[in-house]
Each structure stands twice: as C-alpha cells, then as structure tokens.
Amino acid sequence: MCGIVGYIGNNEKKDFILNGLRELEYRGYDSAGIATLSNGELITYKAVGKLINLEQKCKDFTSTGFGVAIGHTRWATHGKPTEANAHPHIAEFSNVIHNGIIENYKELKERLEKKGHYFLSQTDTEVIVHLFEDYLNDGLDCFEAFKRTIGELRGAYAILLITKKEPDKIFYAKNASPLIIGRGEGGIYLASSDAPLMGYAQEVSYLEDGALGYIDLHNFSSLPNIKQLPQNKGYAQKEGFRYFMEKEIYEQSGVLLETMMGRVSEGKISFENLSADFFDGIGEITICACGTSYHAGMVGKYLLERYAKIKTNVVIASEYRYSSPVLREDELFIAISQSGETLDTLEAIKFVKPFGNKTLAICNVDNSSIVRECDEVLLTRAGIEKGVASTKAFATQVMVLWMLSTYIGSIRGNLSQKEVQKNIEDMVASAKRTEISAKMHEKIKRLSKRYLHGHGFFFIGRDVFYPLALESALKLKEISYLHAEGYPSGEMKHGPIALADSELFTVALMPEHLLYEKIKSNVEELSARDATICAVSALEFEGADDMLYIPSCSSYMEEFFSMMCALQLFALEIAIRLGNDVDMPRNLAKSVTVE
C-alpha cells in the first residue's frame, strides 16, 4: 500500500526522501510526492506513475541547510491516480501525507467548504490539513490544533504534517497503520517501514496505535519502545517474517479492515463511485476469473444468490469466450483479477463489451487494463502481494463480494436492516478472525511434519467451504508441489472415495455453523476406509487423526476466514519443511499476461 518517509536535519533532504520512497516501491503505488520546508519556503513536487517521474521533476531542486521534509507513494483509494490526488496535500501554509482511510472525510469536507476552504483533490487526506489550519485560525497553537484535528478523524491512519508555523517539527499520529521514528547521525528519520531507515537511523521507536505528537531534533529520547535497528534490508521489507507469503498471511486482518473502511459504517454499506442505479435492471450475474480469483468468485456465487437473490454463474476466463456463451440483456458481467492484467480475463471482457452488457471489475490495481476496460470498479485494497501464491488478495476479493451481495440485497429489499447489520457485524468479526495467534501457528508448524509424504490430499467442504477447499488445495499445490484436490464433501462417495487408504490425506473443513452434521457423515465415510483425516474445526471430531482447531465463532463466515488463514499456514509450513522457496514457486508467475 502507500508509503511514508520524513526527515528533520541539515543534510540534503531530497536524497533521503527519494531513497526512502525507492525502498517502499515493493508495496505498490501509482503516484508519488515530496515536500520540503526550509528557510521559510514550503516546496512541493508531485508526479503520477513511477518514482523516476518524480525524480525528473525535482532533479534541479536542492534543499541544503536545516529543514524538514516528507514524502509519499500513493496507492489510490479515493480519487483516480492524478497529480492533484497525489500526496503531499497543501492548504495555505501546511502540508500533510497520510496512509490509511478517513471514514468521515465527507462530512468534514462539507463542513470546511461551508467555512470557505477550497479543496484541490478528490482524496480523504486533504481534509486533514484544512482541518488543522481551521483550528489554527481559531487561535489554537500548532500542537493543540493537531490534537483537535486527529480527535475528529475516524478510520485508519499514519499521518505526518509539516507547517510554516512550526518549521522545525514534524507532527505525527498513528492508528492501525504502521509508523516508525528513527534517530541517526544525520538527524531524525520517519517511515512506514524499517527499510527506508537502513543506513540512516541506528535506533528507532515503533509507534503504537494512538500515538500522537511531534518530533524535532531534540525530543527523540522521550519516545517509547526505542530499539536498535537491524541493518538487513531484505529482513526489513519482510518485517521479520521468513517469507513475503508469511508476512502477507499475517497482514490479512489489517487489509480486510482497509477493504471495508469508508464502505461499511453505521448499519449500511456503500461503495465509492458506484451508485445503486448501476444495478437497475440486472437479472443475472456472471462472474469471470482464473485460479484463486475464480475460487473467490465461487464463494461470491453462494453469497450473491443467498443475500442478493440474483442468479449467478461463475465461469473460467480461459474457457469463456471459446464456449459460444449466450448473454442475456440484463446480465451483469463481473471480472475478478488481482493484477488487473490477467489476459484470459481481459479477453473475456473484450468479448462481452460489444453486446452492451454492464461490466464491473473487482481488482487490486487501479488503472490496470481490466479496470480501464470495465464500466465500474471495486478495488480490493489488498496492497502489493509479492508472494506468487495469493493470500490476502483472495481474502479481500471474498470480502468485496460479501459486501456487494449484502449491498444489492439491501437496495433490492431482500435483506432487512437487521440482516444487513448482522452481516456487517460478521464482516468486522471475520476480519478479526484472520489475526494469527502464535499458538495456532506453532501447532500448524508441528503438524506439518506429518504431511510430507503420501499419494495426495483431498480438501473437502460444503457450501462456501467447497471453494475454500479448492483454494486450499491450490495453495498446497502451488508451493509444496504435492498433489492436492478440492472436492464438495458430498461428492466423495461418487467416485473419489475409491482412492481412500492410509496414505490419502483428507483435510476436512467442518464449520460448526453450516451443515456440520452433513460434512461429519461424509468424513466418517472416508475414515471408515482408513483415510488419514485432519479436521479443521472449532469442535472436537472423534474420527479425526489430527485436529487443526480454529477459535469458536458465531457465524459461518467467521469460520470461513479463520479456516482460510489456518490452511494458508498449513500449506506454507509443509512447503518450508520440503525446502521450497514459497515466494517464488517453480513455473509460476504473479501476473499471467499470456493465454
């Protein structure tokens, strides 16, 4: 996602800011900017696209002598990737950068506009600097104005603000988005990750949620949790995890909340840039995708038919346009892709467009080919995913489809307000269920050593847990190179059970709140034929050889997201024990741009 860097000191400020942003490129971005405040001058440069464009813009600029500086790489959530929407954002004499989402920015913006503030961007971030200066105009000092500003914000944020009124300080605030302050021989350094600080700072403070204050050259020692900074940049990018895939599994609780922010609040669901009338006249939906995105689409079918009451088809993109598909006039075509460049899916959209059907992209990358080709887009906001085997992209795709099905169900009157509120509560709880406990991860590490042989895996489940079984089998195949298949558990007796013996590992997804007794009987059929059973459930199952426990949940979707994480870790630990590079599995690419 977005990246933040800041600096206070006497060195050339542009060099550190650009170097720091370069270290954050791996997180993904679509625009970048820098602001310096020195000798009473507040100077800002912004550019769309890669950092080289920003470097070219400010190549003749120097900023020596004492001053402060901030820099940002933006990944669009509110407003398109344009120079006006890029950070830093300026009001009259102050400048701000921000990671995260301000949920209540619209009401704040309307209030400020009525007081005469003029906004240049479509972003949520710009309200921060205008609100800050509005409080200054009321006679407050800078720190009190900043505190009042932060007190009015709802959402997730890491914020850095500089102002001509206090040119030797950087004001900061953190809530649910990382922010680190470091000290080195050259001054004070700030960033949203360790990596930009390597080679500059020797000691750092990792700020906790709720942190709010200002930093100057003299008050670093008053910060909490000061530690020595490791100097391994690869380690820093992975933030202490062994692999990017492992880090991305752990990130899911945060990115799911970011997926929901600004869209789920006060008992209702709404989407930026997507109005209710877009769904007028829609009588059927076709979801088109490949691989992991296809599995997310299969989950979406269950949810759309259950909550929105719309007949939904799910098709594999590589097969779609060659099958002479018949489209109805009232059919909405939804394309799902992590990268937005998946050629099979892109060609399917191009096939559909001449028929005049409405098209909607569910994608992680704004301004990608699929996003540009579709009429509307719902961004998943997963951030860049470096591991080839998708984890958090799948989680956010499912969450968007769940929100979409609830939204359509609501606007069509198929869900009551009480039912919408229950779904929203379950969404928030589901995001929390993706927080990885050390106890569960350690259990999976120990369990994995028992599943390194045999002649294959069956992952089985029912309803939404069937596509999760498919996705879990795919994860294991991708990174361990072991044979694995996903099946609807009721289908085992219709042929696949012939393979059952002690060397067949069956991973049974057994949710307490959805068809538990049915799945239980299916698993008992396999157990009776000597298959090795690993049950994934919150309930003890006596027929299991191994239990992979998830926490007790109050809904089947909480169980879905909890099992998802457990099975991603299961695949990860098996692959690591087999000595594989889980981030770069053989023969696979992150963005498939060939048919």
Positive or negative, the CA dihedral 200, 204, 209, 214 is negative
User: Does the structure show a pLDDT above 70 at 518?
Assistant: yes
Does residue 193 surpass a pLDDT of 90? no
Q: Which of 50-59, 76-85, 256-265, 323-332 has the lowest mean pLDDT?
A: 76-85
Cβ atoms of 88 and 94 closer than 8 Å: no
- Whether the predicted pLDDT of 4 surpasses 50: yes
pLDDT in tens, 108-119: 999 999 999 999
8 touches 187 (CB < 8 A): yes
CB 476 within 8 A of CB 457: yes
pLDDT at 212 over 70: yes
Confidence of residue 235 (pLDDT cuts 50, 70, 90): low
User: Which range among 32-36, 291-295, 343-347 shows the weakest confidence by mean pLDDT?
Assistant: 343-347
- Judged against a pLDDT cut of 60, whether residue 590 lies above it is answered with no
Q: Which residues are catalytic?
A: 2, 590
pLDDT higher than threshold 80 for residue 181: yes
Q: Which of 144-153, 272-281, 466-475, 492-501 has the least mean pLDDT? A: 492-501
Query: How far, in Å, CA of 360 to CA of 405, rounded?
Result: 14
Average pLDDT over residues 578-582: 93
Would you say residue 27 has pLDDT above 70?
A: no
Quick one: which H or E segment has residue 71?
A: strand 67-74
The phi and psi torsions of 570 (rounded to 5 degrees) equal: -60, -50
Residue 363: in which H helix or E strand, if any?
A: strand 359-363
Q: 1 pLDDT band (50/70/90 cuts)? A: low
**Cα separation of 182 and 191, whole Å?**
8
Q: How far apart, in Å, do the first and last CA atoms of the chain sit?
A: 29
Rounded to whole angstroms, the Cα distance separating 134 from 114 reads 12
Burial class (CB in 10 A: 0-12, 13-18, 19+), 348: buried
Rounded distance between C-alpha atoms, residue 85 and residue 69, angstroms: 19
pLDDT at 593: 46
Residues 6+ apart with CB under 8 A from 54: 18, 21, 32, 33, 34, 45, 46, 47
Copy the structure tokens of residue 331.
């059919």
Helix residue ranges per DSSP H, 267-368: 291-303, 317-320, 343-352
What gap in Å lies between CA 256 and CA 403, rounded to an integer? 11
pLDDT at 591: 52
Give the CA dihedral 471, 475, 481, 482, nearest 10 degrees.
Answer: -60
* CA atoms in the 13 A half-sphere facing the CB of 176: 17
Mean pLDDT within 20-34: 83
Is the separation of the CB atoms in 69 and 7 below 8 Å? yes
How far is it, in rounded angstroms, from Cα 553 to Cα 351? Answer: 43
pLDDT band at 565 (very low <50, low <70, confident <90, very high): very high
C-beta separation of 216 from 189 below 8 A:
no
Decide if pLDDT at 527 tops 60: yes
* Lowest-confidence pick of 167-176, 459-468, 527-536: 527-536
Closest to 433 in 3D by CA, of 253, 246, 177? 253
| pLDDT (average), residues 301-326 | 95
Residue 594 has pLDDT above 50, yes or no: no
The lowest-confidence range among 27-31, 135-139, 172-176, 420-424 is 27-31
Is it the case that residue 347 has pLDDT exceeding 70?
yes
Q: Is 330 helix (H, G, I), strand (E, B) or coil?
A: coil
CB neighbour class for 447 (10 Å; exposed up to 12, middle 13-18, buried from 19) = middle
Structure-block tokens of residue 231: 């100097």
- For residue 23, pLDDT beyond 90: no
Per-state percent for the chain, helix, strand, coil, to nearest 5 = 40, 25, 35
In the prediction, which pLDDT does 75 show? Answer: 75
What are the φ and ψ backbone dihedral angles of 239, each rounded to 5 degrees?
55, 40
Band of pLDDT at residue 592, cut at 50, 70 and 90: low
**Can you give the three-state secondary structure of 445-496, one letter per residue?**
HHHHCCCCCCCEEEEEECCCHHHHHHHHHHHHHHHHCCCEEEEEHHHHHHCH
Coil, strand or helix: which one is 212?
strand
pLDDT, mean over the chain: 92
Rounded CA-CA distance 503/451 in Å is: 10
Q: Residue 336 phi/psi, 5° resolution?
A: -115, 130
The torsion defined by the Cα of 462, 468, 474 and 476, in degrees rounded to 10, comes to -100
The dihedral formed by the CA atoms of 517, 299, 287 and 305, expressed in degrees to the nearest 10: 60
Helix axes 142-152, 126-137, angle to 10 degrees: 130
Other beta carbons less than 10 A from residue 540's beta carbon: 9
For residue 538, count other CB atoms closer than 10 A to its CB.
18
* Contact criterion met (CB below 8 Å) for 177 and 186: no
The pair of structure tokens assigned to 559 is 């169980």
